[in-house]
Amino acid sequence: MATASGETISEEEAQKAIQQEVDDEFEDAVEEENEDGVEGQFSVSKEELAIIRAELACEFPEDYAYLSDAYVLSVASKPYSKDPTVRRPLEYSMEKLTHVMEWRVEASAPDMEDLVGLANGPETAPEAVENPEALTKAKALVTALNSGSLYWHGFTKDGRPVLWVRTNRKPWYPDVDAEVDALILLADAGIRCMPSTVTDFVCVSDSSYPPPPNPTFMIKMLKALVRGYPDRLNLLMSAPVSSIVQFVMNLLLPLMPGRLASKVCLMDVEQMKAKLAGLLLNGEEDVPTFFGGPCNHDKFFPEESKCPNRGQGTLKFDYFGMLDRLNKQKEDFEKNLAAAENGEGVEVGP
């Protein structure tokens, strides 16, 4: 297998490189495998929820609202890994949620959207002149966005937003930190656009022509997902299955918590088309052209060479347009859900 530097790397060599990057950080993850595969949820009282929210507000006053009540309840209601016949102790759930919030501070997650605004403005703006390091980081972040390799578009029938990956747009020589920052920015944006009762999302990857694997990039992306967004991924589907995709998954799957690894599904294009037709909100109408459907994603997310600058800076990716469309789709979904619960007619639209 050739790496991005043009060298040949075996699976054993890649695994060794990855293991050198791995530490005990994964042990802090909320997403963990229960003994004997026991699943289920236990009740959490309003008082217990209030206690958790109050502690989070005290420790993380500027970011505590990031965690919705639905997500806090989903974490606190799970079986205890050491005794799956009982619920997680409240202190244990609080510890897990605190790890997530501490990771967000370490990764500067709450500041990512500010960087988009900085990169979209003129370099002569006071905030750009006074903080050149932030401007450099901002420009690297939007450069990663500009490839259009990662974006939110649409929902599933049960209200989960869909994160699309276009591997053929990924760089062969990635700026690893910038790519991870872009993932953090987009993950947070998608979570903010979730319906109030939804806590996770679906990821769909068009894995045609992926770049050669980069061990440092792979492990940093996995760390971000496991530590920063535990229990957020409902399903990851990838098609077609190439030798590079198999190579990467053989490396990463052994490192994933069991619950996360079980959510990864590799398939061919025809299987993907059928799966998406049953999964996406508007059925076959929402299947993208790159999987044989009628929905042209390039209308909203064209290749970088076809995108104009969005402001006075370097942003070309339609980040704010993406959010507007996703929020509108969320409002439509919640409106239709309420109508269905009231026995009224339901409108289905793009």
Q: Write out pLDDT tens, residues 54-65.
A: 999 999 999 989
Q: What is the mean pLDDT of residues 183-194?
A: 96
pLDDT of residue 38: 47
Band of pLDDT at residue 340, cut at 50, 70 and 90: confident
Q: What is the DSSP pairing of strand 150-155 with strand 161-166?
A: antiparallel
Q: pTM, whole model, 2 decimals?
A: 0.88
With the C-alpha atoms ordered 300, 276, 338, 200, is the resulting torsion angle positive or negative?
Answer: negative
Percent pLDDT > 70 in the chain is 87
Q: Which of 111, 36, 48 is nearest to 81 (CA)?
A: 36
pLDDT of residue 10: 58
pLDDT of residue 40: 60
Q: Is the pLDDT of residue 36 over 50?
A: no
> What H or E segment, with its residue span, contains residue 272?
helix 269-279
Between CA 170 and CA 167 the distance in angstroms is 5
3-state secondary structure of 192: helix
Band of pLDDT at residue 211, cut at 50, 70 and 90: confident
Q: What is the mean pLDDT of residues 151-161?
A: 96
Q: What is the mean pLDDT of residues 290-312?
A: 94
3-state secondary structure of 326: helix
Percent pLDDT > 90 in the chain is 64
Joined together, the tokens standing for residue 130 give 């006074």
Chain position carrying tokens 């942003």: 315
Alpha-helix residue ranges (DSSP H) falling in the chain: 11-21, 46-59, 69-76, 90-106, 112-119, 126-130, 132-146, 176-192, 215-223, 243-252, 258-261, 269-279, 319-341
* Higher per-residue confidence, 57 vs 347: 57
Q: Which of 32, 349, 326, 337 is nearest to 164 (CA)?
A: 326
Q: What is the mean pLDDT of residues 288-299?
A: 96
For 68-83, what is each residue's pLDDT tens digit?
Answer: 999 999 999 988 888 8
pLDDT of residue 9: 52
pLDDT of residue 30: 55
pLDDT of residue 89: 92
* Higher per-residue confidence, 262 vs 12: 262
pLDDT of residue 136: 96
Q: What is the DSSP pairing of strand 201-206 with strand 233-239?
A: parallel
* Higher per-residue confidence, 217 vs 187: 187
Between CA 163 and CA 237 the distance in angstroms is 11
pLDDT of residue 261: 84
For 14-32, what is each residue's pLDDT tens digit?
Answer: 556 555 555 445 554 555 5
Q: Is the pLDDT of residue 287 over 50?
A: yes
